[in-house]
Amino acid sequence: MSAASPFDFSPLLPAGLPAPAARWTGLAKYSFVGGNNDPDQVPVDGLIEAVNAVLRREGKALATYGLASGPQGYRPLREFLTAKLKRDAGITCGADDIMIVSGSLQALDLVNQTLLARGDTVLVEQETYQGALTRLTRLGVNAVGIPLDDQGMRMDALAATLADHKRRGITPKYIYTIPTVQNPTGSILSQTRRAEMLKLSREYGVPIFEDDCYADLIWKGERPPAIYAMSQHGGVIHIGSFSKSIAPALRVGFIVAPWEMMSRMLALKTDAGSGALEQMVLAEYCAPHFASHVPKLTRGLRAKLDTLMEALNEQFGTAAEFEAPEGGIFLWVKLPDNVDTLKLYQAALAAGVSINPGPEWSTDKAYAGSRLRLCFASPSHEQIREGVAVLAEVCRKEFGVPERIANVEKRASS
């Protein structure tokens, strides 16, 4: 080894590491991926007002890890959540039932670390959050998909899967569900199905892991009670986030859980607390403004969804099938069977359009192969229209759909 040769780390790397990251090259010109929100809807003035007030009053507390609120997070934020969860989700809990975390992704990690070991099985919605699926894969956990319909997870399928696993001597570690604005399909699970899920959970001794991180963004502003709220037996872990309602770059989420789980997760949260300034500014802003901010935000998102659906109808015609979601920031789209959205993803990216290919959001790669997720909160109305036009052009070139003629016909008839 010469003096100039660089140190080689490769012999030291353990087996099973994910592939190294590529260097970041910026966001796509037309970005339809990620949970990014509408820049014009960040309540900048309100956040400035809040941060001034809270730092002037409590800034010195930043000298202490956890702000002397302890490891569960800034107490005023937990108190805001107590009131908000009661009002919106019907959850009755105290500040001590809540742990603030660094985004709901840390919540996923803590729940997984507390319950899962390599070789375990969990039940998930067949189409579900990519970040949950990749985590399970890395942990060596078997994620069994339960089919959805337009009402969310199918309870007949859940019952059959639980019975089947019981016959095989397998107790799944949890049922992971995004019941309120399902990701990526956008449905809201009815109260009846929630009750059925709870009954099955109790019957089979399998807890429910309820991810409610999109639940604030519902067009009509009302939602069924959280599964956590409906439970008579406590076997539910509930998580949520401020990423969708206020701003994703603030990394603040939360977990509501029985103390038996909370005490285990606290022992695993060895990060010396989540960012205090972000917790402080959220508490200060949200207590007076959250309830009025969210409806304004959702009206804007709903308008962008309309633009996206119009653009898809215009550019793809009948080749793009979708159902309008009941809230959220994404649309789940079916293209003709011959379209491979993993390939479309690559070709579109080269043309400046980023999309989420369906197979990354499903346990059934074949079913999802011609599907994709389009996030509409971040791009402007103009970018949505232009981006969908570019995507249609790329798709036509790669897969022959949408046919140009169909499009023109549709335009002429509209």
Candidate residues 29, 70, 95, 300; the one interacting with a copy of itself per rule CB under 8 A: 70
Candidate residues 82, 114, 307, 341; the one interacting with a copy of itself per rule CB under 8 A: 114
| Residue 285 near residue 47, CB atoms below 8 Å | yes
Candidate residues 90, 147, 225, 258; the one interacting with a copy of itself per rule CB under 8 A: 258
Enclosing H/E stretch for 290: helix 276-316
Which residue lies nearer to a copy of itself by CB, 39 or 400? 39
How many of the other CB atoms lie within 10 Å of CB of 197?
26
Candidate residues 86, 87, 117, 191; the one interacting with a copy of itself per rule CB under 8 A: 117
CB of 122 vs a copy of itself, minimal distance in Å: 11
Q: Is 278 in the site for a copy of itself (CB under 8 A)?
A: yes
| Of 36, 41, 32, the residue nearest 375 (C-alpha) | 32
Q: Is 300 in the site for a copy of itself (CB under 8 A)?
A: no
Which residue lies nearer to a copy of itself by CB, 96 or 337? 96
Q: Is 261 in the site for a copy of itself (CB under 8 A)?
A: yes
Question: Which residues from 123-152 bind a copy of itself, rule CB under 8 A?
Answer: 131, 134-135
- Cis peptide leading into residue 224 (ω within 30°): no
Which residue lies nearer to a copy of itself by CB, 117 or 324? 117
At position 91, the amino acid (one-letter code) is I
Which residue lies nearer to a copy of itself by CB, 159 or 266? 266
How many of the other CB atoms lie within 10 Å of CB of 109?
18
Question: Which residues from 150-209 bind a copy of itself, rule CB under 8 A?
Answer: 171, 173-174, 201-202, 205, 207
Burial of 275 per CB tally in 10 Å (0-12, 13-18, 19+): middle
Which residue lies nearer to a copy of itself by CB, 172 or 357? 172
Per CB under 8 A, the segment of 55-63, 156-164, 178-186, 287-295 that binds a copy of itself is 55-63
Which residue lies nearer to a copy of itself by CB, 120 or 360? 120
Which residue lies nearer to a copy of itself by CB, 55 or 347? 55
Calpha distance 206→144 (Å, rounded): 14
| Residue 101 near residue 107, CB atoms below 8 Å | yes
Length of the chain, in residues: 414
Calpha distance 50→9 (Å, rounded): 46
Per CB under 8 A, the segment of 58-66, 331-339, 342-350, 361-369 that binds a copy of itself is 58-66
CB of 186 vs a copy of itself, minimal distance in Å: 20
Binding mask 82-101 for a copy of itself (x = CB under 8 A): --------------x-----
Our CA angle for 399, 402, 405, nearest 5°, is 125
CB of 282 vs a copy of itself, minimal distance in Å: 9
Residue 34 three-state SS: coil
| Residues in contact with 153: Cβ distance below 8 Å, sequence separation at least 6, in sequence order | 125, 146, 147, 177, 179, 182, 189, 193, 197
CB of 197 vs a copy of itself, minimal distance in Å: 13
Which residue lies nearer to a copy of itself by CB, 271 or 337? 271
Phi, psi of 99, rounded to the nearest 5 degrees: -120, 130
| Residue 223 near residue 215, CB atoms below 8 Å | yes
Number of residues that bind a copy of itself (CB under 8 A): 106
- Which two three-digit tokens encode residue 292? 């009025």
| Residue 210 near residue 177, CB atoms below 8 Å | yes
Q: Is 26 in the site for a copy of itself (CB under 8 A)?
A: yes
Helix pair angle (75-89, 276-316), 10° resolution: 40
Q: Is 335 in the site for a copy of itself (CB under 8 A)?
A: no
Q: Is 352 in the site for a copy of itself (CB under 8 A)?
A: no
Candidate residues 15, 366, 405, 412; the one interacting with a copy of itself per rule CB under 8 A: 15
Q: What count of Cα atoms within 13 Å lies in the side-chain half-sphere of residue 87?
A: 11
Which residue lies nearer to a copy of itself by CB, 62 or 160? 62
How many of the other CB atoms lie within 10 Å of CB of 292?
10
Question: Which residues from 231-250 bind a copy of itself, rule CB under 8 A?
Answer: 231-236, 247-250
Question: Which residues from 209-228 bind a copy of itself, rule CB under 8 A?
Answer: none
